[in-house]
Structure 1
């Protein structure tokens, strides 16, 4: 069963204002498709947000992400060291999406800590910078946050200050 929405069909529904919500899932990722993750364990997660000033920019970025997802899905499973999570489009003007821009919210699940350490900054690689430039995105339009999962985080014990023997 194909659980992936057709991005072009979703974009058309959004363009027509059906339904008029501010946030739309435009691609199903690994957290909502159990076959994508399989028995892999997430060791890190990336939250990437792309601020787009127009509908055309939102649409072009959504289609570029879909193309990338299709290339990723064509890889053999043993090379799947990361995967996209659900991708959302959050609109500035839900009543008339073609008037105004919005934000694409993209998650990345990482299954190998070594691969994450090596490639976690790939979103700012030369190739990605060229893509952003072609789409009219500047570095100020992009925010990226990385999170380590508790099982792999390197926690160190901290001294807890005390006052009269009681933690403060």
Structure 2
């Protein structure tokens, strides 16, 4: 049975907009730059379930208990009910949006690193055995120190996640 090209079949897949890597397509005005910087919040407004929105469920799981603990801390420092309520109401959006922003930025950096690695592999494949191979090797040796440091940092993160340590 051949796969169909029905759009309903593809509705289950989450679409991700490509990263703008072309300098000719850079935002022209300050307003365009501002819209591009806050483009990660556009996905929240697409009227999807929370479980399908990248990082939002995690941010709420972090923000709601965090708000509870902030209100409990406010109660311990001051038994004023108004202060406790204010601490709970103010800490919920601050903690939630902070975690959401941090998570989305880390996903953005992971995505950029993936694109960079794929471009490096493509350049390596295209330059092997050609006159440009020496130029690629020279360029790669420049960035090799940064890549080694980056690899060590990734290894530490993976080890911490696997052992559950801090």
TM-score bracket, shorter-length normalisation: under 0.3
Larger Rg: 2
TM-score by length of 1: 0.26
Per residue, is there more helix in 1 or in 2?
2
TM-score by length of 2: 0.26
Q: Which has the higher contact order (CA 8 A, sep 6+)?
A: 1
